Amino acid sequence: MIALGRTFLAATLVFLYLPIAVMVAMAFNASPLYTLPIEPTFHWFGVLAENGPLLSATYNSLMIALATSIIATSVGTLASLALNRRTFRGQSLLKVLLLPPIAIPWLITGTAMLVFFFWTGIGRGLHAMLIGHVALAIPYVVLIVGTGIQTLRADLEEAAMSLGSTPIHAFFAVTLPLLAPSIIAALLFAFAVSLDQFVVSYFLATPGVSTLPVEIYASIRKGFTPEINAISAIFLGVSAVLVLIFAQLSNLGGSRDRR
């Protein structure tokens, strides 16, 4: 049974990562028709540098994802602290309402946002996409940071205040450093959720103004081009670096705890 489980796990990993490996390899293949053997080249990265719509969409995606991660992490962290450190009327209901935005299909969410934004006069565009991405990312932030809060010892702040520290100083000196790994994880997750968001961006985009997933979708409908492999390979490398940075930060935090 153990051998069967290992075989199934290996097959699953191959199924997940082999298409990605092929995509990255084809980003460096000279042939636009993906013929073999692979002839190494950086030609498609040069073509990508001249693809205005794709670069503009990439810039939009990065700016929206960056703003989304900052806003959602700030709001979500404060909300998580309120939900886990305070008691007030409707607290249980608010915790329950965090789950539907995660469980509801994004197609329904995108349609609802489109109708609501037109009804309220917000309209479509980058500002609407930013609002939509923040709304989608906040529940994830609240859950991630909330999990980190539940692992903290509440008496540490009380001990700091008993030694003369103010509640605000105790939070920034004691609680916030201990929550840093959870906050960073929430920040990266919110960034990834926004960067990868297609459905909401597709519904809220305007002609000529889109994000990278929407632009890739539009490009594929016209005909797949190797520039898409090139931009995907770049983003894959950036994502891997971010994951390694977070893993290193987590390990450092663990080593301090062990000492």
**Each residue's pLDDT tens digit, 167-215:** 677 777 777 788 888 888 888 888 888 888 888 888 888 887 888 888 8
**What are phi and psi for residue 169, nearest 5 degrees?**
-65, -40
Rounded Cα gap, residues 180 and 174, in angstroms: 11
In a domain? residue 240: no
CATH of the domain at 84: 1.10.3720.10
Nearest-angstrom CA–CA distance, 117 and 114: 5
Q: Specify the number of domains making up the chain.
A: 1
Average pLDDT on 31-41 reads: 73
Q: Which domain holds residue 62?
A: 52-224
| 86 SS3 class | coil
Residue 115 lies in a domain: yes
**Per-residue pLDDT for 250 more than 70?**
no
Altogether, the residues listed in the chain come to a count of 259
User: For 133-174, what is each residue's pLDDT tens digit?
Assistant: 998 899 888 888 888 888 777 677 667 766 667 767 777 777
Give the Cα separation of 110 and 203 in Å (integer): 6
Q: Indicate the pTM of the whole model.
A: 0.80
Q: How far apart are CA 32 and CA 35, in angstroms?
A: 8
